[in-house]
A and B are shown apart, each in its own frame.
Chain A
Amino acid sequence: MNAMEKTKVIVGLGSCGIAAGAKKVYDKIEALQNAENLDIELKKTSCIGMCYREPLVEIVDENGSYLYGDIDEDSVIDIIEKHVNQHNPVKEYVVQTDLFETEDNEYTKDQVKIALRNCGYIDPESIDEYEAREGYRAIKKIVGQHMSRLDVIQSVLDSGLRGRGGGGFPTGLKWKFANNNKATEKYIICNADEGDPGAFMDRSLLEGDPHAVIEGMIIGAYAIEATGGIIYCRAEYPLAIKRLNIALKQSRERGFLGENILGMQGFDFDIYIKEGAGAFVCGEETALIASVEGHRGMPRKRPPFPAASGLWNKPTNINNVETFANIPWIILNGAEAYAKYGTEKSKGTKVFALAGKIRRSGLVEVPMGMSIRDVIFKLGGGIKDGKKFKAVQMGGPSGGCIPEYLADTIVDYDSVNATGAIMGSGGMVVMDETTCMVDVARFFLEFTQKESCGKCTFCRIGTKRMLEILQKITDGKGEEGDIEKLEVLAYKIKDNSLCGLGQTAPNPVLTTIKYFRDEYEAHIRDKKCPALVCTSLLTYEVDEEKCTGCTVCAKHCPVDAIAGERKKPHHIDQDVCIKCGMCYTKCKFDAIKLS
């Protein structure tokens, strides 16, 4: 750092950060800066990845970078005073730095950031900052070195990049097909309809580095000769849409979008944003196309594949956000540099969103081939509150639960598929001993059931029947033979559905039956929920030692099953109790026991 440069104070303003209070912290620093004439450069960035430490503030001074975590409006005053004014970093708040050891250094140590190379480093609303970190250098290289379309496609093929939306289809091959189909009108679409509950990689990428996705699309457009580009983004991501719009405008102003891009005659391409309206099935290619065309998002039969006949019946190529974000890096650094990471059949890196009962939840990017155990325990710091690791859910509603004893499975498309789960778009929801696997299966089926477009009978009615059986089991009314019925239905649905939603909808049920059959049996035979989640199977009792006789539980009991004198231990009449759990939620003294 140049001695003349000011100390930089950078606040992480992604959606998660803002929800945790980062905007207030930013405003506080701005107020301090104005009031005290602080000689700092106050900057914004987006998701830094350490969501579990939000809000995050990075201070870069002449010694290096210090990342402060768990900051609020009060602690930030203290930190600015001590670090900026007295040049004395406040070590207890530092979560990550290269200057000394911190516990959280583990979180970043083994990560390799390619797709996330700029997230948390740049202001996503500044094209200058993107360009300062090699942004738009890849498209300039293509134009400057007269790389042919086939050269570009070959590079992507050689890199081994596979579709990061979950399908895992080789990206280069997809581009080749689209390139082979000659037409005067062609489209390239970025699928940003991140519908998997428990996944937020695409949101973080779009919020943190929108230009990388745009540059990836421009390169794709060049490779397949696309004339129009569309980003299909969930309407639930307003910040991502706002930042994309800013980035598109800047990109147009600099001539990276528009006519004769970078002076290349005939290279005309522009992108517009299409907001989704809330339908999970629109993540499926043909449903997405139907939605862009203004129809109900219902999938259609393939072939013809979109590469031959897609949007408005023109050849169309669809890739995921993360796939596009990798492209400029691959073109600039070469296919070999990318293929250096990963396993034989899954090259490069993958971004994961860690969530659930994990200590450090957030966004990580790791080389393919790392074990799931390392991701959860080394990076993620293991399970929250000292509980026991039970399973990890990968791939959302299309994926499955991988049990603890298979945690040494490596992150790679084929290895994860072998467990019955799928790599998916990168959501990893960690579950501990207090998660009921039957309830999780019911949860996902409820989701896919609601989201089924209704076109295929097996998906429409089969999932409904499966959901009814699961509901029955969690209500304590399960019967012998229910598990087998679920399995029969599951395979029928898989075999008789047109699109990915239906074909994979039974996966969460099948994997939980495969790995946690004993839990299903406990629900059905013993009428017990071992994880103490399914309320109908629990018994609520008052712990007389802890009960203070405050009468709150009795007041809230909807069936008046609780009786007792004020200031004396209460009692629950088991014959009247409907097991709604209200007393358990309301008790402030932890005096309601579950068994």
Chain B
Amino acid sequence: MRIARIIPKIEDKKNGSVDLTLLDPLLEKFKGKKGNLIPLLQGTQDLYGYIPRQAFEKISGATGIELSEMYGVATFYAQFRLHPAGKHIIKVCHGTACHVQNAKSITESLKEALKIADGETTPDGLFTLESVACLGCCSLAPVMMIGDETYGKLTGNEAVKIVKNIRIRENN
């Protein structure tokens, strides 16, 4: 069931440093519009990479939407994060075409290389590993997406190599 999604327990370290004034233009844009909750949450996540608790509170104050309702919506949809994510989000596709072409081995290899479980973030904050439903690049299966870049026809070793290269670039 959708609410049963495992949400990793990560301390919200940036809690004190959320700049809530960033939300003002967004709130202005959707002010008084019907059905604005999902675009508001999407916009908030674009700003912070996740939806901080204080942002929920501010949106609730500005729109009058109950916090409980917002939490209900935010936990229903796969897109929303309630905790900060890594700088690079690795989305390993587990659609049908990727599944029958061994997407499991891609996730397993990355879990081993990054030493994190599915859904977790590396301690250095560089990578978050996620399994996602179809990315729609079935003809290139198995596929993963990092940022806006899609990588196709992968093997476990190739996936690890790509991630390692990003880490090298980041560390330099």
The chain A residues found within 8 Å of chain B, CB to CB, are 15-16, 18-20, 51-52, 54, 194-200, 203, 235-238, 274-280, 291-297, 312, 353-357, 361-362, 393, 396, 427, 429, 431, 435, 440, 443-444, 447, 449-454, 460, 464, 582, 585
Task: Report the minimal beta-carbon distance from A254 to chain B, rounded to whole angstroms.
Answer: 26
Which chain B residues in 65-87 approach chain A with CB under 8 Å? 72-73, 76-80
| Contact partner, A361, options B78, B109, B138, Cβ 8 Å | B138
In the bound assembly, the distance between CA atoms of A292 and B33 in angstroms comes to 12
A357 touches B100 (CB 8 A): yes
* B105 located at the interface, meaning its Cβ lies under 8 Å from any Cβ of chain A in the complex: yes
A200 touches B76 (CB 8 A): no
A19 touches B152 (CB 8 A): yes
A452 touches B2 (CB 8 A): yes
Knowing A16-B140, A20-B152, A238-B148, say if A198 contacts B36 (CB, 8 Å): no
B105 neighbours in A (Cβ, 8 Å): 585
Knowing A52-B139, A200-B137, A356-B101, say if A454 contacts B3 (CB, 8 Å): yes
Of A295, A435, A444, the most chain B CB neighbours within 10 A belong to: A295
Task: Report the minimal beta-carbon distance from A196 to chain B, rounded to whole angstroms.
Answer: 7
B38 neighbours in A (Cβ, 8 Å): 274-275, 277, 291, 294
B76 neighbours in A (Cβ, 8 Å): 279, 296-297, 453
Task: Report the minimal beta-carbon distance from B92 to chain A, rounded to whole angstroms.
Answer: 13
Of A237, A294, A451, the most chain B CB neighbours within 10 A belong to: A294
In the bound assembly, the distance between CA atoms of A209 and B148 in angstroms comes to 22
Task: Report the minimal beta-carbon distance from B166 to chain A, rounded to whole angstroms.
Answer: 17
B100 touches A356 (CB 8 A): yes
* 16 interchain pairs, CB-CB under 8 A: A19-B143, A19-B152, A20-B152, A51-B140, A195-B133, A195-B134, A197-B99, A197-B134, A198-B134, A199-B134, A236-B134, A294-B35, A357-B101, A440-B96, A450-B2, A452-B2
A235 neighbours in B (Cβ, 8 Å): 42, 79
A197 touches B95 (CB 8 A): yes
Question: What DSSP secondary structure best describes chain A's contact surface?
Answer: mixed
Knowing A356-B97, A431-B100, A454-B1, say if A200 contacts B73 (CB, 8 Å): no
Query: Which 4 pairs of residues, A with B, have the shortest CB-CB distance?
Result: A51-B139, A278-B78, A197-B95, A198-B96
B39 touches A275 (CB 8 A): yes
Task: Report the minimal beta-carbon distance from B156 to chain A, rounded to whole angstroms.
Answer: 6
Task: Report the minimal beta-carbon distance from A274 to chain B, rounded to whole angstroms.
Answer: 8
Task: Report the minimal beta-carbon distance from B2 to chain A, rounded to whole angstroms.
Answer: 6
B1 touches A15 (CB 8 A): no
B37 touches A294 (CB 8 A): yes
A355 touches B39 (CB 8 A): no
Knowing A278-B79, A294-B73, say if A18 contacts B150 (CB, 8 Å): yes
B78 neighbours in A (Cβ, 8 Å): 277-279
Nearest B-chain residue to A16, judged by Cβ: B137
Task: Report the minimal beta-carbon distance from B106 to chain A, rounded to whole angstroms.
Answer: 10
B97 touches A429 (CB 8 A): yes
Which chain B residues in 49-71 approach chain A with CB under 8 Å? none
Instruction: Mark interface residues in B1-36 (1 if CB within 8 Å of A CB, else 0).
Output: 111010000000000000000000000000000111
Q: How large is the interface on B (under 10, 10 to 19, 20 to 34, 35 or more residues)?
A: 35 or more
A196 neighbours in B (Cβ, 8 Å): 134
A361 touches B3 (CB 8 A): no
A443 touches B96 (CB 8 A): yes
Task: Report the minimal beta-carbon distance from A509 to chain B, rounded to whole angstroms.
Answer: 15
B143 neighbours in A (Cβ, 8 Å): 19
In the bound assembly, the distance between CA atoms of A279 and B150 in angstroms comes to 21
A18 neighbours in B (Cβ, 8 Å): 150
B138 neighbours in A (Cβ, 8 Å): 198-200, 353, 355-356, 361, 427, 429
A203 touches B133 (CB 8 A): no
A293 touches B156 (CB 8 A): no
13 more A-B contacts (CB under 8 A) besides A236-B135, A275-B42, A435-B100?
Answer: A16-B140, A19-B152, A198-B95, A199-B134, A199-B138, A200-B137, A200-B139, A277-B38, A294-B73, A357-B100, A362-B139, A450-B5, A451-B2
In the bound assembly, the distance between CA atoms of A198 and B101 in angstroms comes to 12
| Contact partner, A15, options B72, B77, B96, B136, Cβ 8 Å | B136
B73 touches A296 (CB 8 A): yes
B96 touches A393 (CB 8 A): yes
* B48 located at the interface, meaning its Cβ lies under 8 Å from any Cβ of chain A in the complex: no
Nearest B-chain residue to A357, judged by Cβ: B100
B133 touches A197 (CB 8 A): yes
A194 neighbours in B (Cβ, 8 Å): 136
In the bound assembly, the distance between CA atoms of A15 and B138 in angstroms comes to 11
Task: Report the minimal beta-carbon distance from B154 to chain A, rounded to whole angstroms.
Answer: 11
B136 touches A427 (CB 8 A): no
In the bound assembly, the distance between CA atoms of A444 and B101 in angstroms comes to 15
A277 touches B42 (CB 8 A): yes
B42 neighbours in A (Cβ, 8 Å): 235, 275, 277
* B141 located at the interface, meaning its Cβ lies under 8 Å from any Cβ of chain A in the complex: yes
In the bound assembly, the distance between CA atoms of A131 and B100 in angstroms comes to 41
A585 touches B109 (CB 8 A): yes
In the bound assembly, the distance between CA atoms of A451 and B38 in angstroms comes to 18
Nearest B-chain residue to A455, judged by Cβ: B1
In the bound assembly, the distance between CA atoms of A238 and B42 in angstroms comes to 13
Task: Report the minimal beta-carbon distance from A537 to chain B, rounded to whole angstroms.
Answer: 15
Nearest B-chain residue to A196, judged by Cβ: B134
A279 touches B97 (CB 8 A): no
In the bound assembly, the distance between CA atoms of A142 and B105 in angstroms comes to 54
In the bound assembly, the distance between CA atoms of A450 and B6 in angstroms comes to 11
| Contact partner, A355, options B3, B5, B97, Cβ 8 Å | B97
A19 touches B100 (CB 8 A): no
A396 neighbours in B (Cβ, 8 Å): 96
In the bound assembly, the distance between CA atoms of A78 and B95 in angstroms comes to 37
Knowing A19-B150, A19-B151, A296-B76, say if A280 contacts B133 (CB, 8 Å): yes
